[in-house]
Amino acid sequence: MRLIGAGLPRTGTLTQKLALEQLGLGPCYHWVNVIADLDQVQLWDRALDGEAVWDEVFAGHNSTVDWPGGYFYRKLIDFYPQAKVLLSVRDPQAWERSFRETIWTMSHGDSLMALLARARAEVDPRWHRYLKLVDRMFWEPQGTFAAGHEQPAQLIEQMVRHTEEVKRVVPAERLLVWEVTDGWEPLCEFLEVDVPDEPLPHANDRDTFLGRVIGGALDALQAWREENLPAY
Q: Is residue 56 part of a domain?
A: yes
Please count the structural domains in the chain.
1
Amino acid at 52: A
The model's pLDDT over 100-148, given as tens digits with 9 standing for 90+, comes to 999 989 888 888 888 999 999 999 999 999 999 999 999 999 999 998 8
The model's pLDDT over 164-185, given as tens digits with 9 standing for 90+, comes to 999 999 999 999 999 999 999 9
pLDDT band at 207 (very low <50, low <70, confident <90, very high): confident
- By residue range, what is the domain housing residue 155? 3-226
pLDDT band at 208 (very low <50, low <70, confident <90, very high): confident
**In terms of C-beta density within 10 A (0-12 exposed, 13-18 middle, 19 or more buried), how is residue 20 classed?**
buried
Q: Is residue 213 part of a domain?
A: yes
Q: Is residue 231 part of a domain?
A: no
Sign of CA dihedral 72, 38, 36, 145: negative
Task: Report the pLDDT value the prediction gives residue 232, as an integer from 0 to 100.
Answer: 63
Q: Is residue 232 part of a domain?
A: no
pLDDT band at 83 (very low <50, low <70, confident <90, very high): very high
CATH code assigned at 16: 3.40.50.300
Task: Report the pLDDT value the prediction gives residue 227, as an integer from 0 to 100.
Answer: 84
Average pLDDT over residues 32-58: 95
Q: Is residue 23 part of a domain?
A: yes
Average pLDDT over residues 26-37: 94
**Three-state DSSP string of 35-91:** HHCHHHHHHHHHHHCCCCCHHHHCCCCCEECCCCHHHHHHHHHHHCCCCEEEEECCC
Task: Report the pLDDT value the prediction gives residue 131, as an integer from 0 to 100.
Answer: 95
Q: Is residue 136 part of a domain?
A: yes
Task: Report the pLDDT value the prediction gives residue 174, as an integer from 0 to 100.
Answer: 98
pLDDT band at 224 (very low <50, low <70, confident <90, very high): confident
Mean pLDDT (the chain) is 93
Average pLDDT over residues 2-17: 96
3-state secondary structure of 5: strand
Question: In sequence order, what DSSP letters do the residues of 184-219 get, joined into one string?
Answer: HHHHHHHHT-PPPSSPPP---HHHHHHHHHHHHHHH
Task: Report the pLDDT value the prediction gives residue 211, as an integer from 0 to 100.
Answer: 80
The model's pLDDT over 70-82, given as tens digits with 9 standing for 90+, comes to 999 999 999 999 9
pLDDT band at 4 (very low <50, low <70, confident <90, very high): very high
Task: Report the pLDDT value the prediction gives residue 42, as an integer from 0 to 100.
Answer: 96
pLDDT band at 162 (very low <50, low <70, confident <90, very high): very high
Q: Is residue 220 part of a domain?
A: yes
Task: Report the pLDDT value the prediction gives residue 204, as an integer from 0 to 100.
Answer: 67
pLDDT band at 231 (very low <50, low <70, confident <90, very high): low
Q: Is residue 181 part of a domain?
A: yes
